[in-house]
Structure formats: structure tokens, C-alpha cells
Structure 1
Amino acid sequence: MSTSTIPSSLFESLYEKLSVVLQLTQSSEGVTTPQARQALLQATNDFKNALSQAKDYASSLPGGELSVMDQDEVIEMLTKLKEHKREQLAQFSSRALGSDQPTDSTEGGTMDIDSTASTPVAS
């Protein structure tokens, strides 16, 4: 299954297929005749197959295998990482703004590089 485009027609057809099943179950003739039962069986199978295809497609999406709780954990971790990066940027900005006066160490061309600036904080 290609993950480049979302088959929106598949997902949109689910409503229509479910509507057909509901109409057949609530019709005046119900499921009393063999033809009505056969039509209901066909509509139910059609809906079930479309739903199965939609589930398979959704599961094949990147991150589709994650549960809601796992997704929440990833979002929380990324939010913490973003906040940590903002704090580092604020600290760097305050140091850079606070040291506008050239010093002997910066004029000499040597500079300390903070290797932890892009390292995530372990939780």
C-alpha cells in the first residue's frame, strides 16, 4: 500500500456503506425475505471489507502502530526537548548579548564549543 497519498475516497465511502446497511436494516420489509437478507449480507460485507482496508491503511501510516498512550509520551518528550532547546537558546543569547565587549580570548580566535547544545536531556 502506497503511503504517498491518502485514499480519501476509501474513508469517505465508509459513511455511505454504513448508511446502506442501516437503511436495509430499518426498511419496512426488514430482513424477512431472502432477497432482503442477501442485500443486507452484501452491504454488510462491503462495509466490513472497506473498513478493513481503511484500518490496514491507517496502520501502515508512519506512527500508525503507536497507541494513543505511546503517542502522548512521544509528544510529551518532544515538548520537553523543545523547552530545553529554548532555554539553551535564551542562555546563549544572554551570554552573547552580555559579552558584546571583545575579550582577549575571543580576539585570539579560540572559542569554546558547547557539545551539549544539541544533545537531548535524558528523562
Structure 2
Amino acid sequence: MSYSSRFLRRRPRIERQVLAILRGEDDLLLTGSDAQTFAALRQLARSNGFVIHEPKTIFVGDHELALLSWLAAAQRISASHLRPKDRMLAANIRRCAMLLENAGLRLYPLTLYRRMLEDTGLAQAMSGRDEPALRMSSIR
């Protein structure tokens, strides 16, 4: 498994909290059903070829940053066109973004790594898929 050179500790506090939830760490901000929604997102993302690191990993991966970007976009009307191609993944990201916002975890606008989401190099890293989920469904 490859890791990026981005240290988790250098990310904003809210991003670290959301990454902890994405990775499956227990969080008091989530109820049982909310935690199941994030578990479903984690499972669906992994089935689409995303690498989501284990809890307590000290690095942040490119795929995790892409998921953070989509969650941040789903929390904003102006960025709603930034979403994964996979419709089930996009719907699950929208649900999780709403849960995060209800828990007081609104991701910063800088989390919108649009350039990363448009990066075909990252999409090509998803080998074995004709149309990786990382490709944008539409870009305005």
C-alpha cells in the first residue's frame, strides 16, 4: 500500500476529524446509523478502487483527499457540479456531507481540491476500470 508524503497532523482540525470518521475511527459526534452511513461510504469507495487508510495512519492519501473534496463540494451549492461519476458514490457522499454539517463539521472551502479532482493522473491510477470513479461527471 502506498502512502503520500502529506502528514495528517498538518491538515486542518476539521479535515482530521472527517478523515478519522472516513477511516472508521469511533467518533462521539456520530450515532449508530450515522456511523453505518460512513461505513457504507467507505465500503463503496473501496469497491470503486479508492485507498482509504487504516485509522491512526499518519499520512493522507490522494484518494482520501479526493473524498474530502467531494464532501466539501456536497456541502456547497456553488460546487455541486464537482462529484464522482459513480452515482451511488455521489449519493452516499451527499448523505455523509449532510451528516457532517449537522454534526458541526463543515469543511473549509480550501478543501475543494478541484485541480486534484480533475487530475487524470489520479484517475489513471485506478487500474482495472474503464471509467474510474475519480473522473468528473461534469465540469463547468
TM range (shorter): under 0.3
**Greater Rg over alpha carbons, structure:** 1
Structure with the higher fraction of residues in helix conformation = 1
**What TM-score do the two structures reach when normalised by structure 2?**
0.22
